Chain A
């Protein structure tokens, strides 16, 4: 079972920015797609199927926009598939694409995550004033901030933990030419002194709104072997998993949700990982608010409960630490919502391929890509490796 091995042989990203004023909507997807195809040494004609993920259609005001991109993606006569699973969406999308190969249904699949947030505003597209429903009185961060506060209370984490995460991720972003935010002047003080929006979350500890797309080319084992033989190392998929739990289940732990723990356990089991802290070299983690780094470190089994923040403070999660997290700059530096999950997956693949450029971790062999969404209730993860599973 799990009949066919899956290899990532192409990764293509757009330049991420607040407004991609120079391209059309299909142009944005084509930019990522053509870069991925070039990386994979393929053309559109080589692709068997396309799997697309994005956040709600209200962002761009187009119902199932991928239908109007079919010609632009050379997909006439091919299967095209749309996944929609909240913030984890393009992680889920990559997993659906991977399943098409693992099952033996297709051999070469293009998968794309994208968002053009400049078409509207996140505040509008994510939270209409629905009749008869309670209005948000505190914005998006106001939903998560009480749980972060609860984490701090449980763990006694120093109150600058979030500052250290934001500083690290934004400095990592300086090494990633595609990243949205390139804050050359950022400092510990500038983060700490930024406006406390939702105490304990400061402005500089929150993600931006970005335009952008990422595309991956996935192949079967033969495709991975062929790329390898030509000196283009693939990333091998060692495990994939998604998990969901209800937003409003009485008794659910929103600081360290069970679905995240279960999803990690499932993907580690598939990848043969019994000690993630030892066996995983680098992590691309979905951290839209800085404090989620220590929270996910615990949720994903990298640290005992209540101790995740120590890894951050000890520099373990820095580029030169022994568990580097978000070398790309992460969601804190780049957040086209419908692409953010797949960017984590794609950056994990780049690391084990040795192709991450300036933010490459030397000798990275095994990497985790992690995405979550909704009320911290939807999870998608994959483990990729330099070695064939």
Chain B
């Protein structure tokens, strides 16, 4: 399925150089030369895959459906990975030990976003943060809400805010966002290893 686009690409200025696409000689095909030329086409492509996320992600998502966050430990370094992908990227060995993590976390760093990249009506600006979940050793990204955006700081303690139990699925979307949990900030020195 293709269709031509109506928008004519803007002409560009080619810098002085030694080669550009040569002019074509259409003298033998005047009836084609005399009509408007096709300059571009649309090529619609659709492929469908039967996607499987693998064993470790399945374990993680089955747990998240039960409102649990589960990481997996590297047997060599002891570091806990979340979300787990089945292999420790440091040792190259399978992560077979599952570790129950807390449902709270700490802001490691963040940015304030002024465009809606989420596709649903967010308040703008909003805060996207690197959050170190309690018990894990690698931060994940998450939205921070229920606090003015200009009050978010590294070290801020957060709780995860979940969808209703009836809406829980095997999906990251179960966590709607993160919000301050009221605990004192974690000193920056304790977060130095996580950025």
Contacts and interface: CB of A to CB of B under 8 A. Distances in A.
Tell me, yes or no, whether A binds B.
yes
Interface of A: 12, 15, 17, 19-23, 27, 30-31, 34-35, 38-39, 61, 130-139, 141-143, 145-150, 153, 177-178, 195-201, 246-251, 253-255
B158 interface: no
A95 to B, nearest CB: 24
B114 A178 contact: no
The 6 lowest CB-CB distance pairs between A and B, nearest first, are A21-B9, A145-B111, A246-B89, A34-B19, A199-B112, A146-B109
B15 A138 contact: no
Nearest to B89: A246
Of A22, A200, A247, most buried by chain B (CB within 10 Å of CB) is A22
B109 A149 contact: yes
B113 A142 contact: yes
B98 interface: no
B90 A19 contact: no
A372 B116 CA distance: 27
Residue with the highest number of chain A CB atoms closer than 10 Å, among B19, B79, B154: B19
A34 B18 contact: yes
Interface of B: 8-21, 39-40, 43, 45, 51, 53, 57, 61, 74, 77, 79-81, 83, 85, 89-90, 108-115, 117-118, 125, 128-130, 137-138, 140-141, 143, 154, 170-173, 188, 193-195
Contact of A61 (B45, B89, B117): B45
B110 A15 contact: no
Question: Among the interface residues A30, A137, A249, which one has the most CB atoms of the partner chain B within 10 A?
Answer: A137
Given A34-B18, A137-B117, 10 more contacts: A21-B8, A30-B19, A35-B19, A131-B53, A132-B51, A132-B53, A145-B128, A153-B154, A197-B115, A199-B125
Nearest to A131: B51
A76 to B, nearest CB: 20
Q: Which of A23, A132, A148 has the most CB of B within 10 A?
A: A132
Given A137-B117, A146-B109, A198-B111, A22 B11 contact: yes
A135 B129 contact: no
Contacts of B53: 131-133
Nearest to B16: A177
B143 A137 contact: yes
Contact of B15 (A30, A147, A177): A177
B21 A142 contact: no
Contact of A248 (B17, B21, B40, B81): B81
Given A139-B115, A253-B195, A132 B61 contact: yes
Given A132-B61, A139-B117, A250 B137 contact: yes
Nearest to A17: B12
A199 B143 CA distance: 14
B79 A196 contact: no
Given A15-B12, A247-B89, A146 B130 contact: yes
A201 B195 contact: no
A150 B9 contact: no
Contacts of A23: 21
A195 B130 CA distance: 23
Nearest to A201: B111
Contact of A146 (B11, B85, B108): B108
Contacts of B140: 134
A250 B90 contact: yes
Contacts of B74: 250
